[in-house]
Amino acid sequence: MNSPTAIVEAAPPIDEVGVNERVARLFTRSIKKEAKLRALTMTLSMLDLTTLEGKDSPGKVKQLCYKAAHLHDVYPGLPMVAAVCVYPSLVSVARKALAGTDIKVASVATAFPSGMTALKLKLEEVKQVVEDGADEVDMVLSRGRFLRGDYAYVFDEIAAVKTACGPAHLKVILETGELVTLDNVRRASDLAMAAGADFIKTSTGKVSPAATPPVVLVMLEAIRDYYFRTGRKVGMKPAGGIKTAKQAIQYLVMVRETLGQAWLTPDRFRFGASSLANDVLMQIVKQTTGVYQSGDYFSID
Amino acid sequence: MTKEKKRLKVANPHIDYDTVWTYAPAPESTDHIHLKRRYELFINGEFVPPVKGKYFATVNPATEEKLAEVPEATGEDIDKAVAAARSAFEKVWSPMPPAERGKYIYRIARLLQERAREFAVIESLDGGKPIRESRDIDIPLAAAHFFYYAGWADKLEYAFPGRKTRPLGVAGQIIPWNFPLLMAAWKIAPALATGNTVVLKTAETTPLTAMKLAELFQDAELPPGVVNIVTGGGKTGQMIVNHPDVDKIAFTGSTEVGKYIRKALAGTGKRYTLELGGKAANIIFEDAAVDQAVEGIINGIFFNQGHVCCAGSRLYVQESIAPEILRKLKDRIATLIVGDPLDKNTDIGAINSRMQLEKIESYVRIGKEEGGAIFQPPCKLPAKGYWHPPTLFTDVSQSHRIVQEEIFGPVLPIQTFRTVDEVITKANNTPYGLSGGVWTDKGAKIFKVTKQIRAGVVWANTYNKFDPTSPFGGYKESGLGREGGLQGLLPYVELV
């Protein structure tokens, strides 16, 4: 296997102007009627319904978990979301609340959102959330180490967290808002995948900008190249700032035309969002009734 | 191939784009379009029937249905148009204060912007290009050209330091079918800004947006005779070229006709600019940003079905990355949507005419007969209309006709190269010299290579970018003179 530095050096250069143009062209896709309805339903099934606030409490998480399984019961046939994403201390609450459903429990870990603590503590945290019942662990990349070129540390850290995860799936948050350049996004993606990430994820949601279309496109292309090189299909999760159904559909168009059928599933593509669900629900109802309903008809949990 | 194969663990590397989730049809509405069943010649500010009374049909290449009839202008009509242009030149347009001329051109630009949607739909109906392109490129760029040259109208004193400008008189302009309205704007805007008047002939297969433009000139209250628009075929164009009272010819079209024009005008003292064919080299170096370069290849050859004189129609890929580029190109082509030009998701629309389709098909046949390896993605083409799938040819060389000759369709011959010198030699090894493309992450290489490519326009890490401020035109058999920018004023003025 290549050394972490070799992996970074092998990453192809990224031309930002070209990426922006490709994104603009993908965004001209016009998604209407049954294609729109299908995209909206798919979006719901790919949702990591998220609450990551210092003021989160067991009560709040329980309510969110109920919403996750009952998005809009007056409209039958809707899917459940893919996962509920919470802070470590609330994993056991979520686990209990979601018992009997197929909804996964995801937990952020590794001193989220900054990751500025010792590896030993990070690993302990990861083991704890898995023990508490997390199916998926969202770790943060050590951006400081990455930016100063300590790729071996970053690689080893991810690999160690992956081991600590055991059966749980590992999502690696690159925090692209702090990596700044698309070249860095590509290198970090390659590094994270090689170190064992099951998913790569754009952002914590705590840094601006969070997920942006050019960043997501570069990550999807990295996943495609990695798949051809290794045969392993790594998942993708844009997170932060995705608030509207329109944005979600645009991301799905990007996935469809970059990675195709195999990635258009909750196993390989997720949205990390807290307020996206209701806009999607409102659009779904509008697609079938022809009129927009008041926001008051959609539950806020 | 071996290096690439060794690198890849996936046995049959391709992406499955045959997704369960597909796009529903998203057709642009045509409800707001009003086409007359028959159009007339636009002479001296009015629509007048042709003297000989002959008309021909213009069809929608996507359905083969007739859209409207337009006149076939004959010598008598051209005489009338040139006389109207001459009179308007002498009495109205050239004596007019330049700032006033500018106001008219600004008004044309604004009206075009206001009616952009209508023009875009008609352009796609009549010519077959995807609505995405006519909406996002053709029409906005046409308006931008009018805006740009409107600004020059009262600043000509500053255009050529130490020299004053004088208009030439009546400009005869002949435009092609690939960008009908945009080419009309390229021709008309600088002519008007410099104080000339115009007789413009549209292409046989795409007269309708020019007819709409004539209506727009009426709405703008452009003085009668300043722009006259006639329709017809090659013969009509010939009569404009040979008309004794025309002072300047501006032609965009085939090299063959360009050669005829040069012969016909020899010794007449008429000025002319020619924008002719091309066979541009698009060069991908091993240090290029790979996915963006693939996108550039797509944009270079499949823009407007490949009906682009500056299309990147000869691809050169450095050998070390050729397998990767080819693999990605084949994957990318599988996502191109070929079909209804009015569908907002269409990437490749209809071929402009049956004649052009037959020409493209004959080149594909030649390519196969010469031993080229053809690749076409699986795509369903509509039953009616003129269509051609995106097509790649590998295993070709400089000696293959599909590498040498302009196909003017969505067909791309691909060659590999090893060194910078080799690719520059091959890029210049063509009678054409209109455009080129270079893809590399190294700035120094961009300058080194672009300097040595004998072409009027060379793009670096992008392709098919147009702007009214930038001059456009060719070397060698790709033409003579420049259109666009400050340089685009020169063919329309006498420097005094």
Contacts of A230 in chain B (CB under 8 A): 9
| Contacting B residues, span 321-340, partner chain A, CB-CB under 8 Å | 327, 335
Nearest to B15 among A13, A224, A229 (CB): A224
Cβ contact (<8 Å) for A21 and B295?
Answer: yes
> Whose CA is closest to A71, among A280, A291, A230?
A280
- Distance from C-alpha of B28 to C-alpha of B31, rounded to nearest angstrom: 9
Nearest to B9 among A21, A230, A262 (CB): A230
Select the residue from B282, B292, B331, B333 to test the A interface by mutation, using most A Cβ atoms within 10 A. B292
Cβ contact (<8 Å) for B292 and A15?
Answer: yes
Confidence of residue B12 (pLDDT cuts 50, 70, 90): confident
Chains A, B: CB contacts within 8 A come to: 97
Contacts of B17 in chain A (CB under 8 A): 256-257, 260-261
A201 noted as active-site residue:
yes
Confidence of residue B6 (pLDDT cuts 50, 70, 90): low
CA A16 to chain B, closest CA, distance in angstroms equals: 9
Dihedral of CA B4/B5/B6/B8: which sign?
positive
Residue of A nearest to B135 (CA): A28
Residue of A nearest to B463 (CA): A18
Contacts of B16 in chain A (CB under 8 A): 260-262
> Whose CA is closest to A200, among A214, A216, A183?
A216
Cβ contact (<8 Å) for A22 and B295?
Answer: yes
Confidence of residue B360 (pLDDT cuts 50, 70, 90): very high
Select the residue from A257, A259, A263, A268 to test the B interface by mutation, using most B Cβ atoms within 10 A. A257
Confidence of residue B2 (pLDDT cuts 50, 70, 90): low
Contacts of B345 in chain A (CB under 8 A): 28-30
Specify the DSSP element, H or E, that contains B333: helix B322-333
Cβ contact (<8 Å) for A32 and B9?
Answer: no
| pLDDT score, position B19 | 86
Cβ contact (<8 Å) for A30 and B18?
Answer: no
Contacts of B136 in chain A (CB under 8 A): 28
- Distance from C-alpha of B355 to C-alpha of A168, rounded to nearest angstrom: 62
Q: Where in chain B is CATH 3.40.605.10? A: 41-276+475-495
Cβ contact (<8 Å) for A35 and B23?
Answer: yes
Complex ipTM = 0.95
CA A34 to chain B, closest CA, distance in angstroms equals: 7
**CATH superfamily, with its number, for domain B278-460:** Aldehyde Dehydrogenase; Chain A, domain 2 (3.40.309.10)
Phi, psi of B2 (to 5 degrees): -60, -45
Nearest to B8 among A33, A221, A228 (CB): A228
Residue of A nearest to B344 (CA): A30
Nearest to A261 among B18, B25, B132 (CB): B18
Give the domain extent around A50.
4-297
> Whose CA is closest to A140, among A116, A173, A163, A107?
A173
Per the structure block, which two tokens stand in for B111?
């009206």
Residue of B nearest to A10 (CA): B287
Per the structure block, which two tokens stand in for B232?
């017809």
Q: Are A114 and A154 spatial neighbours (Cβ–Cβ below 8 Å)?
A: no
Residue of B nearest to A18 (CA): B292
Active-site hit among B72, B118, B133, B309: B309
Q: Are B395 and B71 spatial neighbours (Cβ–Cβ below 8 Å)?
A: no
Q: Which ranges of A197-239 does DSSP label H, i.e. alpha helix?
A: 213-230
Cβ contact (<8 Å) for B20 and A264?
Answer: yes
First and final CA of chain A: distance in angstroms?
46
B281-284 and B65-71 as β-strands: parallel, antiparallel, unpaired? unpaired
Number of structural domains, chain A? 1
Cβ contact (<8 Å) for A12 and B7?
Answer: no
Contacts of B13 in chain A (CB under 8 A): 228
B309 noted as active-site residue:
yes
Cβ contact (<8 Å) for A19 and B20?
Answer: no
pLDDT digits (tens, 9 = 90+) for B287-338: 999 999 999 999 999 999 999 999 999 999 999 999 999 999 999 999 999 9
Nearest to A18 among B25, B136, B461 (CB): B461
- Three-state DSSP state, A241: coil
Nearest to B15 among A18, A29, A259 (CB): A259
Residue of B nearest to A38 (CA): B21
| pLDDT score, position B16 | 87
| pLDDT score, position B9 | 77
| pLDDT score, position B43 | 98
Contacts of A19 in chain B (CB under 8 A): 292
Cβ contact (<8 Å) for A13 and B295?
Answer: no
| pLDDT score, position B253 | 96
pLDDT digits (tens, 9 = 90+) for B31-72: 999 999 999 999 999 999 999 999 999 999 999 999 999 999
| pLDDT score, position B1 | 46
Q: Going residue by residue through chain A, which has 301 residues, state the pLDDT in tens, using 9 for 90 and above.
A: 689 999 999 999 999 999 999 999 999 999 999 999 999 999 999 999 999 999 999 999 999 999 999 999 999 999 999 999 999 999 999 999 999 999 999 999 999 999 999 999 999 999 999 999 999 999 999 999 999 999 999 999 999 999 999 999 999 999 999 999 999 999 999 999 999 999 999 999 999 999 999 999 999 999 999 999 999 999 999 999 999 999 999 999 999 999 999 999 999 999 999 899 999 999 999 998 999 999 999 999 8
Cβ contact (<8 Å) for B8 and A229?
Answer: yes
Residue of A nearest to B346 (CA): A29
Contacts of A215 in chain B (CB under 8 A): none
| pLDDT score, position B365 | 98
| Burial state string for B62-98 with b = 16 or more CB within 10 A and e = fewer than 16 | bbeeebbbbbbbbeebbebbbbbbbbbbeebbbebeb
| Contacting B residues, span 19-48, partner chain A, CB-CB under 8 Å | 19-26
The answer to whether residue B443 neighbours chain A at the CB level (below 8 Å) is no
Please report how many Cα atoms fall inside a 13 Å half-sphere around the Cα of residue B421, on the Cβ side.
0
Cβ contact (<8 Å) for A231 and B441?
Answer: no
> Whose CA is closest to A211, among A179, A170, A187, A259?
A179
Active-site hit among A171, A190, A201, A279: A201
Active-site hit among A36, A104, A135, A138: A138
pTM: 0.96
CA A230 to chain B, closest CA, distance in angstroms equals: 5
Residue of B nearest to A19 (CA): B292
Residue of B nearest to A42 (CA): B21
Cβ contact (<8 Å) for B17 and A261?
Answer: yes
Cross-strand partners of A239: A272
Amino acid residing at B442 = K
Residue of A nearest to B136 (CA): A28
| pLDDT score, position B5 | 63
CA A131 to chain B, closest CA, distance in angstroms equals: 35
| pLDDT score, position A218 | 98
Contacts of A259 in chain B (CB under 8 A): 15
CATH number, domain with residue A159: 3.20.20.70
Q: Are A106 and A86 spatial neighbours (Cβ–Cβ below 8 Å)?
A: yes
| pLDDT score, position A1 | 64
Q: Where in chain B is CATH 3.40.309.10? A: 278-460
The answer to whether residue B130 neighbours chain A at the CB level (below 8 Å) is no
- Distance from C-alpha of A232 to C-alpha of A22, rounded to nearest angstrom: 25
Mutual angle of helices A33-45 and A276-289, in 10-degree steps:
150
Domain B41-276+475-495 class, CATH top level = alpha beta
CA A44 to chain B, closest CA, distance in angstroms equals: 15
The answer to whether residue B12 neighbours chain A at the CB level (below 8 Å) is no
Cβ contact (<8 Å) for B292 and A35?
Answer: no
Question: Average pLDDT of B182-188?
Answer: 98
